[in-house]
Amino acid sequence: MLVLRNFTAATLIALTAGCATGLNSSQESELASYRANNLAVEEKNPGLAAGLGLLPGGGSFYGRSYGYGVANLLL
């Protein structure tokens, strides 16, 4: 029973740890260059993405990865 509880806890941590991370340094510099050129940049809502990620393909569609979304729906 202890093994199952530990496995469940580890699985939940692994699934939720990387869902909504911040930008890395190269992404920060790319965002700064877009803003310097007055290009519109709309950031996604990490909470909504995580919530939609619970549905098959939901997070992929929200992130505009439609091919992955369709593949997740079909699998």
Is the pTM higher than 0.75?
Answer: no
Q: Is 59 exposed, middle or buried (0-12, 13-18, 19+ CB in 10 A)?
A: buried
What amino acid occupies position 31?
A: L
- Over its length of 75 residues, how does the chain's per-residue pLDDT go in tens digits? 888 888 888 887 777 665 556 778 898 899 899 989 988 777 778 788 788 878 888 888 887 788 888 887 788
- The reported pLDDT for the residue numbered 20 is 57
Q: How far is CA 52 from CA 23, 29, 41, 62, 73, in A?
A: 20, 28, 21, 8, 13
